[in-house]
Amino acid sequence: MLPKKVSAAGSRCNAGVSLARFGPACRPSLLLAIVSTLILGLAACSSPPAGTRYELRGTVVAVQPQHRLVTVAHQDIPGFMAAMTMPFAVKEEWALAALKPGDRIAAVLVVDRGASWLEQIVISHGGAQQLAPVKADGSPVAAPGQPVPDFTLLNQYGRLIHLHQYRGRALLLTFIYTRCPLPDYCPLTSRNFAELDRALRREPSLYPKTGLLSISIDPEYDRPVVLRKYGLTYIDAKGPNPFDQWELATGSPREIKAVAGFFGLDYYPQGNQIVHSLRTALIAPDGRIAKTYSGNEWKPADVLRDLAALLSPRPLP
């Protein structure tokens, strides 16, 4: 709002529509007031975009249009992530169609409230060394009906567990690692498991017949104490054993590799991070694969329906 009165050189200056009404001594003050008001108005109309933004530069390794993902061997992202090869979500259809392995890419990585994606993408075709495509969700997946081996792991308390001990219950199994930096990868999977954990506790007909298991693919870092602390940031349960429904597990590197390989999960360490695909599996009470979920597009409500169908007399579609 413009001031009603502005004093300049001992004169009284009334704000109005036309500057011509005022003497030369008044005009600079009135101009300053008008410009200040316009600047404030423009600032209010151009609020900064949501999310934290990082500059990303690197080389395209693989493109998955069906999953809206591009895997990039990127340089250091200061303040966020060391140089590594990592899949990123891409929203623009034109970019998914244009990007090819070997292209150089410059983009903005947006991390915002549980999601991340690339935007403002600039592509330089050719001129870069052609890189061999990495396997991303491309490994053979254990088929429905296939029995799951009795893998041996260590739970969040450092106690030995066997997958066969879950027989008699439906088990939802997934893979994570606690240092995963992108909110729509491991953190999203863990949030989905937390939502399922809460939903199952509200379903007395399903709760005793089900179990949840998150297996770390970072056994060197994710020791039982680390998994226990990580799990408690997601689990709402109270009582002496908050992990009675949802357990977290690690194991020897060889055992983790065997479990991941059986379920078709691709992963490899790079620096202090791990490049990995995403895989979740539903195991029937008889210890056989009932269904697998690739990527991170599955919803807790969908899995809850699959669990209910699996445990009902009707077969799972």
pLDDT in tens, 59-89: 888 888 888 888 888 888 888 877 777 789 9
pLDDT the model gives residue 118: 93
Residue indicated by tokens 């209910």 = 308
pLDDT the model gives residue 4: 37
- How are beta strands 5-8 and 11-14 bridged, if at all? antiparallel
DSSP label of 77: B
Q: Which CATH superfamily is domain 152-310 in?
A: Glutaredoxin (3.40.30.10)
Q: Distance between CA 101 and CA 171 in Å, rounded?
A: 38
Q: Model-level pTM? A: 0.64
CATH 2.40.50.320 domain span(s) along the chain = 52-124
Residue 35 has pLDDT above 50, yes or no: no
User: Looking at the chain, which runs of residues are DSSP E strands?
Assistant: 5-8, 11-14, 52-64, 69-74, 84-89, 104-112, 115-124, 152-155, 160-162, 170-176, 210-216, 246-250, 267-270, 273-276, 279-283, 289-294
CATH 3.40.30.10 domain span(s) along the chain = 152-310
CATH topology for 52-124?
OB fold (Dihydrolipoamide Acetyltransferase, E2P) (2.40.50)
Grade residue 45 by pLDDT with cuts at 50, 70 and 90: very low
* E strand or H helix at 93: helix 93-98
Q: What is the DSSP string of 128-178?
A: SPPPPPPPSS-SPPPPTTPBPP--EEEETTS-EEEGGGGTTSEEEEEEE-T
Q: Distance between CA 235 and CA 230 in Å, rounded?
A: 9
Q: Which residues neighbour 317 within 8 Å (Cβ) at sequence distance 6 or greater? A: 309
pLDDT in tens, 85-126: 778 999 888 888 889 888 889 999 999 877 899 998 988 876
Q: What percent of the chain has pLDDT over 70?
A: 78
